[in-house]
Each structure stands twice: as structure tokens, then as C-alpha cells.
Amino acid sequence: MSNQQTLVIIKPDGLTKGLVGEILCQIQSNGLTVVNYVYTHLCRNIVEELYASEREEVYFQEVVDWVSSTQVLLLKIQGEGAVEKVKWCIIGRYPKGIRGQYAENWIKNIAHAPDSESAAKQELKLFESIFKRRKNMDKDLFNKKKIFALTGMSECGKSTVGKYFDSQGIPRLKIVRLFERVRDKQSPGENLYQFTGREEQRDPYALWNSFIEELIAEMEAQKVRVVSIESLYGGGLGPYLKKRMGEHFCIIYVDISLEIRLERQMQREKLSTIEEAKKILLPRDKIKSDSGIPALKEIADEVIDNSGNLEDLYQLVDEVIQRHTV
């Protein structure tokens, strides 16, 4: 199969039913990649053009009314055999496709995808200007801004690096606090981890976009163009921020061997044996490993070796700041 690009339009009912996360998981599990996306409210003219081949069908006006009624999500997908995989394996009606499980009728049927490579090229061309407009809006939003995202395993020194950033005039923001602001606006009083877990399953892009809004709002409130955010957890958030923000986003993985982390844990907690330190550190490491933290090292823009002393660490951070802010 050839490498192809295709389109998915998640319709209003797909968004309302919280199926974005499930569709994205299906895309990934089929070896495909989302290379671009945009939430948008499509005008009637462009929807009529999308469904032009069905103009004579009795349902034509109804489907145009529905798809143009409110916001939809456009996804540009790429990969081997993308057109067939998306149309028939992921979106298709039978036997386990998204439509087969969740469609109400021919109109409210969750999502649209082209059924041939030629149709995919035509539909992607139809929406090209919308994708470009979103990209240009992001350029304006992140213009002259820099976000350093700190990550790493337990007791690797993320907080030490964050505090040093702060001492150099680069505010240290906590990721959990920004998500709390999102939660407080959308579901006040709910347990934060239940809220973020549910929303990442329903529509991760919407949740992460709300996070970005809070991040930019805080930067503007503090009147700064450079910040550090701590601690970047595993999973999709890091890759998403990296893809959307591009050069304005820098993942810093603070690296240190387990042996040194255990020794420092012993010193800090005044423990007498390595085994005592392991009982504290290893369970926390497992949580981080299970959440995907090690995978962030593979996409990190900077990997900082924190096996030396504080002076060594600060020098490495200074060099990172120099490389990314000048």
C-alpha cells in the first residue's frame, strides 16, 4: 500500500458524544498519523461542495444543514493505505467501525471520510485554506514566545531546574495549576485527575487547547514571553504541544541514572540503606514509566545530564537558554 493522505470530518454529533479520543486512538492503532487538525464552523457553501455528488439525494439538504450547523473537527491523516483504513476500518459502518457503533441515522452518523484516493485529494484541497488559516493564527498566537517544558523520572532534578529558570527571570509555572484553571471553568469541584482523564478520553485536543489558552493567558498576565512549565507528563500532551507550537516549545528531559537518584534519595531522607531508598523511589518510577515519561526523552529538544553538581547543572541550563532564546 502507498503512503497517502486523507481527511476525517468529525461531525457535531461526534463531538457531542465525545468520540474524538476514540477516533484518534483508532487512527494511531492503525499505524496512521494526524498531521494537521482544525476545529471550525463550516459555511453552507463549502459543505454543499463537499457533498456535491449527492446533490440529488433526498437527504442532501438535511446533511448540509447538520454539518454546517455548528463546530466540526477536520483531521488530515497520513500513512500507508490511509484512505482505505480510515474509511472502512475506522469510520465504516460494519462491523466495528465508529459509525456502526454510534450513528443514529444517515445524517447524524458521527464522521465523514472520502472513499477513494482521488476523492481524498479533492476534499483536502477543498479545506486547504482552512488548515492554512489555523496555522497562521497559531503563528500570531505564539509569536516571540518560548515555553520550556520540564520532564524526567522521579527525583531527577526538574524542580531544581525550574527554580533556576525562575532565578533567571523565566517564571516557573506548574502544569497541574493550569489544568486546575481549566477544570474550574468547565467542571468546578470535580477531582482534577478524574476530570483530565475523562476529557482526554472524550476530546484530548479540546482539553489541551484549553490548557494552551490558560498558559498564554498567564504569560500575558505576567507580561513575559518566556516561561518554564513543570512537570510534563507522558502520553499525548507533550507531542501535541510540540506539534502545535513548533519552535516555540522546547521539551527538556532532565536525565540522571537510577543509581545516583537512589544515592541522593538516601542523603535527602537520611536513609541508611539503598533498599530503603528503592522502596520510596521505585514505585514512583513505575508510575512515571507507565504514564509514558521515558518516551518523552525520544522527542526531547534538550536532554540535560544532572549527574554532576549544581554548578554543572546550572551551566547546562544556561546553555539551553542561550540556544533557544537568542
pLDDT 10s digits, 248-264: 999 999 999 999 999 99
Report whether pLDDT(326) > 90: no
The pLDDT tens digits of the residues spanning 90-123 come to: 898 666 789 999 999 989 999 999 999 999 999 9
25 by Cβ neighbours in 10 Å (0-12 / 13-18 / 19+) ranks as: middle
Q: Which three cell numbers stand for residue 326?
A: 537568542
Give Cβ neighbours of residue 325 (< 8 Å, ≥ 6 apart).
Answer: 146, 226
Q: Which three cell numbers stand for residue 24?
A: 484518534
State residue 2's pLDDT score. Answer: 85
The pLDDT tens digits of the residues spanning 266-286 come to: 988 899 999 999 999 999 999
Instruction: Specify the length of the chain in residues.
Output: 326
State residue 106's pLDDT score. Answer: 87
Outline where the chain has alpha helix (H): 12-16, 20-29, 44-50, 60-67, 82-84, 98-102, 117-126, 128-142, 158-167, 175-186, 192-202, 204-222, 237-245, 258-269, 274-291, 293-299, 310-325
Report whether pLDDT(31) > 90: yes
State residue 176's pLDDT score. Answer: 97
Backbone phi, psi, residue 216, to 5°: -65, -40
Angstrom distance (rounded) from CA 314 to CA 162: 11
Q: Report, as an integer, the average pLDDT of 159-168.
A: 97
Angstrom distance (rounded) from CA 75 to CA 165: 36
CB 90 within 8 A of CB 98: yes
CATH of domain 3-136: 3.30.70.141
Confidence band for 232, pLDDT divided at 50, 70 and 90 = very high
State residue 97's pLDDT score. Answer: 87
State residue 1's pLDDT score. Answer: 65
The mean predicted confidence, pLDDT, of the chain is 95
The pLDDT tens digits of the residues spanning 165-179 come to: 999 999 999 999 999
Q: Report, as an integer, the average pLDDT of 175-184.
A: 98
- Annotation marks residue 324 as catalytic: no
Backbone phi, psi, residue 285, to 5°: -60, -40
Report whether pLDDT(140) > 90: yes
Q: Which three cell numbers stand for residue 122?
A: 479533492
pTM of the entire structure? 0.93
CB 251 within 8 A of CB 149: yes
83 by Cβ neighbours in 10 Å (0-12 / 13-18 / 19+) ranks as: buried
Catalytic residue among 41, 112, 248, 324: 112
Q: Domain limits of the chain?
A: 3-136, 144-325
Give percent of the chain with pLDDT exceeding 90.
92
Angstrom distance (rounded) from CA 149 to CA 37: 23
Q: Which three cell numbers stand for residue 5?
A: 493522505
The class (CATH top level) of 144-325 is: alpha beta
The pLDDT tens digits of the residues spanning 206-226 come to: 999 999 999 999 999 999 999
